Structure 1
Amino acid sequence: MKNQDIVTAFKKASASQGGTQECVEVAHTADGGRAIRDSKDPHGPVLFFAPTEWNAFSASVNDGEFGD
């Protein structure tokens, strides 16, 4: 298994479930990182983030660094 192997299904944010909103979807990778894709293009490109990168991003979101 490679670090970038996707080990869970992609999920959309709960706020966008069931609606017509399009957003990104997130899945876990084998190394504990995350894979991100555009929900409008599920067969398109996927971005991969190492665990440290994802943790830094998540902390920044939780700290409100990106605004509302």
Structure 2
Amino acid sequence: MKKIPDASTLSTWRKSSHSDNGDGGCIEISDSHPDGIPVRDSKNPNGPAVIFVTTTWRSFVDSVKGRDLPA
């Protein structure tokens, strides 16, 4: 798994429309990275980001949307 040491080097971060904007406790993703989907903690914008393979990220999102995750 690839990492970006300082996630603030990317400028195209976005939060889910379902995130709770009250305390800033959510993840953000970037759609424009050539190696996959970077994910960072919104409370730590200068911290690291993990880059997921695009197909892996899509599978995860589809599972969450379909509530197919194990309990």
Alignment pair present for 1:51 and 2:54? yes
TM-score by length of 2: 0.66
C-alpha change, 1:7 and 1:21, in structure 2 (3 Å) is closer
TM-score by length of 1: 0.68
Q: How many residues align?
A: 62
What runs of 5+ residues in structure 1 fail to find an aligned partner? none
What runs of 5+ residues in structure 2 fail to find an aligned partner? none
- Structure possessing the higher relative contact order (Cα contacts under 8 Å, 6 or more residues apart): 2
Instruction: Name whichever structure is richer in strand by fraction.
Output: 2
Identical counterparts, % of pairs: 34
RMSD: 2.6
Task: Give the ranges of 4+ consecutive aligned residues of structure 1 lying more than 6 Å apart after TM superposition.
Answer: none
